[in-house]
Amino acid sequence: MSTNAPNGMEKAAQSMGDETAPQPMSRSRSTNRRQGIRAAATILDVARRAGVSTATVSRAIASPDRVAEETRSKVIAAIAATGYTPNASARNLRARSTRIVLALVPGMSNTFFTPILNAVEDTLSAAGYGMIIGDTRHSAQKEAHYTRFILAGQVDGVILFTGHLPRDGDLTPETDRVPIALVCNEIVGDDRYSVFDVDNREAARRATAHLIAAGHRHIAHIAGAGDNVEAGERLRGFRDALGAAGIAADESAIWSGGFRFEDGVTSAARFLTMKKRPTAVFASTDDGAIGFIRTVRDAGIRTPEDVSVVGFDDIDYASVIEPPLTTMRQPRAALGRLAAEDLLARMRPDSPYIPPARGRLRCELIERKSVRPISAAEASGKRRSASAPVALAAKDRDGKATLTP
C-alpha cells in the first residue's frame, strides 16, 4: 500500500482551494455538451455565479464562520442555483473524517486472521466505511510508517492484531480522537483501548481436561512465546487442569516458542529425544499441532494411536489434516464483528464519550480423530508405551507383529 500519491481528500482540497485546478473540467464540460450530456456543476460554476473566487467558495463550505454573511448568502444561493454537490472526499475533509479503518496484522500469510478481517470488512462496509490492511511483518520500520499514517489523520479508527502499539511512534495523546480496538490480544495494564478476545485460560483448561478425561496423565504442552499474553493464559489454563486432577506438570515437556508450524516441528524434535514420552500433547495453536503431527509421523509415530493431540483455533486445515484435529474453536467472525461495531460507535463525530469495551468470548471444543482414550495401564507405561512406538510400528509394517489397540 503506497501513501506517496495524493489521496482523495488531498485532491479535493487542492481543487477546492486552487482557482486554476478546475480549468480541465471546463474543457470536459464542453465535450459533454457536444455529446448532449449534462455535466455536474463544479466549484468554478458556483464561484462564477456568486462573483467570488473558488477559494472563497471553499471557505464558505468548510468554515462558514470565516466568511462574511453577505458573501456566504451569495455562495449558498449559487450552490442552490447550480445544483453543485461537494464530492464525498470534500465532505469528509470538512468533517475531518476519512471513513476508513486501518487493520494492522503481524503477517498476512497467517490465515487465522482471514475470517476476522472478513467480518470486520462486512460490518464496516454495511455502515459506509472502508478498511485497509497494514502488514507489519513484525517490522519496527513498518510500524513507524503506519504510526505516521495514523498521526496524519488518514484513518478514523484502528484495529490491532499485533498485541502492541506500533513502535517508534507515540499514538497518544495526539490520537486520542482515533479509537483503537485490539483483537485476539491485549496490552497488559493499559485500559485505554477496547479488547475483544476469547477466554484463553478457560479454553486451554478445557482442552487439557479433555485429554485427562481420555485417561492421559503425562501431557506435554506446545506453548507460545513467553511474552505473548494469549500464550501465557493458555499455559495457565494447562496448569489449572493438571492441578485440578492432581497431576504434576512435566516441566521438560512444556516447550515455549511461538504459534507457527515451525514451532510444532521444533517441539516434535524435542519430544523424539525424550526417554519417556508423553502420551498426549496440547498445542497452543493448530499450526503448532499440525507441525508436531507431521514431524512425529515421519519418525513412525502415529496420531492418535501413539500420541494424542489437541490444538487451538480451528483453522481450515484442522479438519483436513490426517487425522482430523480435535481443537478449541475460536469464534473469529464474532470477534471481528464486535471490534468493528465498537469502532463504529466510537468513530461518530457527534457521539458522546464511549469508554473502551472488553469482550471475552467462549471457545467451543471440536472433537475429531486426534485423541484416543487410553487405559490406566497405558497411562502408567505398563502397556503400549509411547516410549518406543517406532520399533512397534516397523514390526507392524513388516507383518511380524501387530499393535494391540
More confident of the two residues 163 and 95: 163
Closest CA to 43 of 7, 70, 18, 72: 18
How many Cα atoms occupy the beta-carbon half-sphere of 74 within 13 Å? Answer: 17
Nearest-angstrom CA–CA distance, 274 and 142:
41
User: 234-288: per-residue pLDDT in tens?
Assistant: 999 999 999 999 999 999 999 998 899 999 999 999 999 999 999 999 999 999 9
Read off the C-alpha cell for 360: 471475552
The cell numbers describing 203, all together, are: 479454553
Q: What is the mean pLDDT of residues 303-313?
A: 98
Cβ neighbours of 35 (radius 10 Å): 8
Domains, the chain, in order of start with CATH, read 8-94 (1.10.260.40), 100-199+333-362 (3.40.50.2300), 200-329+365-398 (3.40.50.2300)
Phi then psi dihedrals of residue 198, to 5 deg? -100, 165
Residue 28: pLDDT band with limits 50, 70, 90: very low
d(CA 205, CA 385): 25
Percentage above 90 pLDDT, the chain = 52
Question: Is residue 324 reached through a cis peptide bond, with omega within 30 degrees of 0 on the bond before it?
Answer: no
Best-predicted range by mean pLDDT among 7-21, 165-179, 184-198, 375-389?
184-198
| Mean pLDDT comparison of 106-110, 182-186, 202-206, highest-scoring range | 202-206
Q: Report the range of poorest mean pLDDT among 80-89, 175-184, 347-356.
A: 80-89
Total number of residues shown for the chain: 405
pLDDT of residue 278: 97
Please state whether beta strands 364-366 and 308-313 pair in parallel, antiparallel, or not at all (unpaired). unpaired
Check residue 96 and give its pLDDT.
Answer: 62
Burial of 48 (0-12, 13-18, 19+ CB in 10 A): middle
68 vs 244, higher pLDDT = 244
pLDDT at 261: 95
For 35-153, strand residue ranges (E) read: 100-105, 130-135
Measured in degrees and rounded to the nearest 5, phi and psi for residue 117 equal -65, -40
Question: What pLDDT does residue 94 have?
Answer: 46
- Range in 36-40, 148-152, 272-276, 359-363 with the lowest mean pLDDT: 36-40
Residue 6 clears pLDDT 50, i.e. is over it: no
Instruction: At 50, list the grid cell.
Output: 456568486
Nearest to 221 by CA among 310, 143, 118: 310
Instruction: Indicate if the pLDDT at residue 342 is higher than 80.
Output: yes
Q: How far is the C-alpha of 247 from the C-alpha of 10, rounded, in Å?
A: 64
Q: What is the mean pLDDT of residues 178-186?
A: 91
For residues 352 and 271, which has the higher predicted lDDT (pLDDT)?
Answer: 271
Q: Residue written as cell 497411562?
A: 379
Average pLDDT over residues 369-384: 84
**Between helices 69-82 and 43-50, what is the axis angle to 10°?**
130
> pTM of the full predicted structure?
0.71
Distance CA 16, CA 10 (A): 10
Order the strands of the 219-222 sheet from edge to edge.
Answer: 254-255, 219-222, 280-283, 308-313, 326-329, 364-366
Q: What is the pLDDT of residue 62?
A: 67
Amino acid at 57: V
What pLDDT, on the 0 to 100 scale, is given for residue 242?
Answer: 98
Given this model, what pLDDT does residue 269 score? 97
The answer to whether the beta carbons of residues 282 and 219 sit under 8 Å apart is: yes
Tens of pLDDT along 107-165?
Answer: 888 889 999 999 999 999 999 999 999 998 888 888 888 888 887 778 999 999 987 76
Q: How much is the pLDDT for 171?
A: 54
Q: Which residues contact 230 (CB under 8 A, 6 or more apart)?
A: 163, 184, 185, 197, 200, 224, 284
Predicted local distance difference test score (pLDDT) of residue 15: 38
What mean pLDDT is reported for the chain?
81
In the block, residue with C-alpha cell 482523495: 8
